[in-house]
Amino acid sequence: MCVFFKNNNEMIKINFRKIKVLSLFLMLICIGFACEKMPDAPKFVLPKLSIEDLSIQEGDGNSVLQVRVILDKAATNNVVIRYSTKDLTAIGGIDFTGLINETVAIAPGASETTIPIAIKGNEYFESDKRFEVVIFSALNADVIRNTAKVTLKNDDESTPGGLRIPSAGYSSPEAYPGYQLAWADEFKGTAVNLSDWTFEIGNGQNGWGNNELQYYRAENTFIHNNEYLVIEARNEIFGGQQYTSSRMITKGKKEFKYGRIDIRAASPKTQGIWPALWMLGENFQQVGWPACGEIDILEILGHETNKAHGTVHWGPNSNQRQQKTASTFSGPEGDFHERFHVYTIIWEENKIEWFINDVKFHSVTTADMNGFDYPFNDEFFFIFNIAVGGLWPGNPDASTKFPQHLIVDYIRVFQK
């Protein structure tokens, strides 16, 4: 709607005002359109990278752990990661292989990789140990967590004397078809059952006939954790000898003729140590050795603990002593020090067979006596001991470590 005024100058002035207002209105509209947000162009977002904590059993030997590095989505480009390890309570070069400025990569299309680190296990008790893996750069990824804590968990048991109880091993059943359990010692409780066992004391005559160096004491044997019999050989002077150990027997208390005998045990490991699980004829004091007969269920030399021996001795006197022996090596389950194994004889009239973990490796019969009497059809008693030095293993040397332990989980005697 237009209004005309008589004064043309005034009319013209009003028209100019209208034009200015209209122009201002149009400018505001343009500014509004100009200020309205336009959609952004698509942005490339880097995948987010993180590293995971890890906790593992330390183990007895060397192994390789894998620390995971993860992207939140598949990589578009090759992701190159640089990392190092950082000592905490675990020390590079001692507990694990320390690494500096190493690299791994995540290929396009993948979303994770692992960082391999060699671990140096051992067989001795120690506290849990830790170290860190630190990522200090990652090409084509956005690092949101750059440090992983790695815990090496102790898997060994200990006493103040350094006792190590194996964490695994072979076990045998508590019953067999056709057999009855005649006697067993599971070594429960806090002390050796003296109703079944007697400790032999001293160095014997001529080092028990083998030039052995230990003095046998009852104090070197104990029950660990109400579960394991432990015989401990020590480097200590006592009774005129440089070393001490224990020798325990069932003579006059538990004597047997025939049966299946299972002994679950783990042996010591070092030069000059000689553990044995064996038997002598109960008439030993009347007829002497070797006429009484000797059955060695297990003998191991401490410097070669992947090799076990089974033996019998017989003959009318020491000048005419006879023996038949066989040896076998440990299998994939670990050597005779690292794991528990079950040592077995199946003892029948005129025949004895040896087994380790139910695998036969030796036998003897009356046909093997070389014309001498067969003494193994009579009553026998058990002997458990660790000898130090002597004719067979040789003496301790600079490599020998003490204390050393023979650990027995159980002995079971089954008879028909």
By annotation, the residues acting in catalysis are: 294, 299
Q: Is the dihedral of CA 314, 315, 320, 322 positive or negative?
A: negative
CB 244 within 8 A of CB 251: no
- List beta partners, residue 365: 351
**Among candidates 303, 265, 264, 299, which has minimal Cα distance to 279?**
299
- How many angstroms separate the CA atoms of 164 and 224, rounded? 11
CB 111 within 8 A of CB 63: no
CB 245 within 8 A of CB 214: yes
- How many angstroms separate the CA atoms of 70 and 68, rounded? 6
**Which three-class secondary structure state does DSSP give residue 48?**
strand
**Among candidates 272, 264, 138, 256, which has minimal Cα distance to 212?**
272
CB 260 within 8 A of CB 176: yes
As given in the structure block, the two tokens for residue 112 are 């994770």
Strand 112-120 relative to strand 79-87, pairing: unpaired
Q: Is the dihedral of CA 209, 233, 339, 410 positive or negative?
A: positive
